[in-house]
Amino acid sequence: MSANVRDLVSWDTAKNGEKLDLEKQKILQKVIDSIHHKGKLMRFWATPNTKDAYKMLMKLGVDYIGSDKLSLLEGVLNQ
């Protein structure tokens, strides 16, 4: 499953740094869990291209992370 994250939550790094507040995390977690319960994989698009965003996506359990900054994502994945 692939979904535009902005259809679910606003994730504007210019307004709140690179953090996704707990309420928004819960919304995304519920969607991810629902998709996984159906035996499908989850990917969000239109997410910020930042280290903190990549780490949050991994924490939430998404299966695929898309990025316009592959070397930045590679650095996070290699940590």
Tens-digit pLDDT profile for residues 39-53: 999 999 999 999 999
User: What is the secondary structure of 1-40 as a DSSP string?
Assistant: -EEEGGGT----HHHHTB---HHHHHHHHHHHHHHHHTT-
Q: Report the predicted TM-score, pTM, of the whole model to 2 decimal places.
A: 0.89
pLDDT range class, residue 75, cuts 50, 70, 90: very high
